[in-house]
Amino acid sequence: MKNNSVYKDALKVSGWIFLFGAIEFLIFTLALTFRTDVLLGVLYGCAFASLSFFYLASCVKKSVEKDEKAAKIYMAMSYNLRLISTAVMVIFAVRIENIYLWAAIIPLFFQRIAVYAVEFLNSRRKKGSENY
């Protein structure tokens, strides 16, 4: 069951990414107006951020099974692949007229915030269970 904990945490982070995306869309809608290009941008950015985080979780899980040198090489290669895929994602967002660029780029920053949110909630749950 411990093997799936990485993916369970990645699913939690993904949920937070989409929650932050909904908040982002609400802010854009209040500031501008309802626009489908903003909605598509938010969905595109959140989906990419979520998939990128799942890929990171998968790579970390696989690297733990390798020796130190192979793990470092594997993680460096996965980092480069994620960096290149992010560049490609941004290029697509620029080229596709139906996607509002900034609405697609902002969710790329949600990964880190979502990780902090999951860690915070996990620590609160642990403290709460210690009191009983």
Report the b/e string of 73-90 with b at 16+ CB within 10 A.
Answer: ebbeebeeeeeeeeeebb
Dist CA 8 CA 87 (whole Å)? 27
pLDDT of 31 reads: 93
Q: Among residues 4, 18, 98, which one has the least CA distance to residue 50?
A: 18
pLDDT of 95 reads: 96
Length of the chain: 132
pTM of structure:
0.86
pLDDT of 89 reads: 96
Which residues fall within 8 angstroms of residue 58, CB to CB, at 6 or more apart?
A: 6
Q: Digits of tens for pLDDT over the chain (132 positions)?
A: 456 778 888 899 999 999 999 999 999 999 989 999 999 999 999 999 999 999 999 999 999 899 999 999 999 999 999 999 999 999 999 999 999 999 999 999 999 999 999 888 888 887 766 655
